[in-house]
Structure 1
Amino acid sequence: ETTDWESGKSTSDTFSASIAELAPSTAYHFRAVARNSMGVSYGGDETFTTIGLHYHLNVKNVDLPYEDKDETKELHVLLKNLSPTSKDAGADGEVVIDVKYEPAA
């Protein structure tokens, strides 16, 4: 996708562009292009990678000091540094993560 030209910028000015609807876990390339009466100049190729939307947690054979005293079969897991987008969150902003496990016999 190409953005519109911005007029009135000099080489020392900063600039930015907002882009939307990027795919998760995808590398993107971009470069700045400047033009004036002398011609066109291209900046270097730069990259960034969007974060993933899906998180997979696989824990096997871990001895947890856990006893299901109230027999709810609930295990709570704390995940840090997640950045859900509004598309992933529920109406109240909560992200639901399904964790399946079997208590040890």
Structure 2
Amino acid sequence: MTAPSSDVRINARLSGPDAARFRELLDRSGGSASDLLRDALREYHATHVQPRRDPLDLLAGYIGAGDGPEDLSAGYKTYLADALEEKLPLRVQDRHDPD
């Protein structure tokens, strides 16, 4: 009889310190080798695999959160030019009025 496709059968050979660690964990848990491997796999997965986040969720705090004119995307050049005119000092020749 074959196992369902969602099942995985594992045969592993552990020796030396790895075998001793496995036996120690098995004795402490009081469960089966399969239970220990399942628990170890779940813990390893939880610490090593980052959950995939939806890109829209990442941007949720930024999209539509700013203030500004409604036509900023179409008229940004005009708004930028106006802002620069306010911030840039007058040229030297513009500062002196002819008498």
TM-score calculated relative to the size of structure 1: 0.21
Larger Rg: 2
Larger helix percent: 2
- TM normalised by structure 2 equals 0.22
Structure (1/2) with the larger strand percentage:
1
